């Protein structure tokens, strides 16, 4: 699948836990996303819930749009240059219907 180099905020949660982080995507396709995170303890095969925040300038909407996705970790790659772990996530389902809000103090931390 074609991947788009796209840096947007993503809220990542591990189902069944209270663990969540705000990260930034590096690229996105219809079947997966790649993002960098400081979160530790992720494992290949682990299920993740994510919410992508698409800026209104990207969608031409009056406010940011949110895309809910569920998937699993395919690959973890240490990124020494950026000091994070790169996470390749396969998307199993997408939902554009639900709205979310991100507190401003969190939304600006990637």
Model's pTM, two decimal places? 0.79
Q: Residue 15: CA atoms inside 13 Å, Cβ hemisphere, count?
A: 11
User: Alpha-carbon distance 51 to 36, whole Å?
Assistant: 15
- Residue 38 pLDDT greater than 50, yes or no: yes
What domains are defined for the chain? 4-103 (2.40.10.220)
pLDDT at 25: 93
pLDDT bucket at 110, cuts 50 / 70 / 90 = very low
Report yes or no: 36 and 43 within 8 Å, Cβ to Cβ.
Answer: no
Mean pLDDT of 57-68: 82
pLDDT at 65: 81
Report yes or no: 69 and 53 within 8 Å, Cβ to Cβ.
Answer: no
Q: Which of 21, 32, 51, 42 is nearest to 85 (CA)?
A: 42
């Amino acid at each position: 699948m074609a991947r788009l180099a796209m840096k947007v905020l993503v809220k990542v949660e591990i189902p069944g836990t209270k663990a969540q982080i705000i990260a930034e995507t590096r690229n996105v396709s219809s079947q997966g996303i790649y993002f960098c995170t400081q979160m530790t303890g992720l494992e290949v095969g682990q299920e993740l819930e994510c919410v992508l925040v698409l800026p209104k300038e990207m969608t031409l909407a009056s406010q940011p749009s949110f895309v809910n996705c569920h998937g699993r970790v395919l690959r973890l790659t240490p990124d020494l240059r950026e000091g994070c772990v790169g996470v390749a996530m396969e998307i199993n389902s997408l939902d554009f219907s639900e709205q979310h809000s991100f507190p401003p103090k969190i939304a600006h931390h990637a």
